[in-house]
């Protein structure tokens, strides 16, 4: 299934929500150090509810270590000025969705990383700076999963 990378996340609640997102979708969540919080932070635990044991979460020392551990797969880096819209991608099940830190996104060096296949964006009003990190990851991941008809998901009876 899909893989999410949060590169040096700063806000524990966002990462907690991403842990919950990973658990309910079957995605992997990869966190790149340094983290702006301790993994035992109460806000992270509260946002993730009781999903921590149901999610696949790995912490990596740096982005290169993460890419090496993940192996092949296209990497889509989400940035507000990415030239291609996230819905214009035909996702593959081994794709990697990369998100930068809340305050600054990806650095120029990270944006130019040779593993990045393409910079993509989520549409929003021009006068807005950014969307919440966990919300961005949710929107992107659900679009990718939708393209696979939500494979592995349970559906309520009669729907």
Rg (CA), the chain: 15
Match domain 3-146 to its CATH number in 3.40.1280.10, 1.10.3720.10, 3.20.20.370, 3.40.640.10: 3.40.1280.10
Spatial strand order of the sheet with 96-99 comes to 56-60, 28-32, 3-7, 96-99, 75-78, 116-121, 84-85
Give the tens place of pLDDT for each residue, 10-56: 998 899 899 989 999 999 999 999 998 887 756 555 554 566 677 89
- Domain spans of the chain? 3-146
The answer to whether 100 is annotated as binding is: yes
The pLDDT value recorded for residue 48 is 47
Q: SS3 letters for 116-139?
A: EEEEEECCCCCCCCCCCHHHHHHH
The pLDDT value recorded for residue 159 is 54
Q: Mark the ranges of the chain whose per-residue pLDDT is less than 50.
A: 48
Single out the residue of 70, 140, 135, 66 nearest to residue 102, CA to CA: 135
The pLDDT value recorded for residue 127 is 83
The answer to whether 122 is annotated as binding is: yes
The pLDDT value recorded for residue 84 is 97
Single out the residue of 147, 143, 142, 122 nearest to residue 132, CA to CA: 122
The answer to whether 131 is annotated as binding is: no
What's the rounded Cα separation, in Å, for the pair 92 and 14? 25
């Amino acid at each position: 299934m899909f893989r999410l990378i949060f590169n040096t996340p700063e806000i524990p609640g966002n990462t907690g929500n991403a842990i919950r997102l990973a658990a309910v979708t079957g995605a992997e969540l990869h966190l790149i150090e340094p983290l702006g919080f301790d993994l035992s932070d109460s806000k992270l635990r509260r946002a993730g509810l009781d999903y921590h044991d149901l999610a696949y979460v790995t912490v990596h020392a740096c982005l290169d270590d993460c890419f090496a551990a993940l192996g092949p797969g296209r990497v889509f880096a989400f940035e507000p000025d990415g030239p291609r819209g996230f819905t214009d991608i035909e996702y593959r099940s081994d794709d990697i969705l990369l998100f930068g830190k809340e305050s600054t996104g990806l650095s120029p060096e990270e944006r130019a990383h040779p593993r990045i296949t393409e910079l993509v964006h989520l549409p929003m009003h021009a006068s807005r700076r950014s969307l919440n990190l966990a919300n961005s990851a949710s929107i992107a991941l659900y679009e990718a999963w939708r393209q696979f008809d939500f494979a592995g998901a349970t559906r309520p009876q009669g729907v």
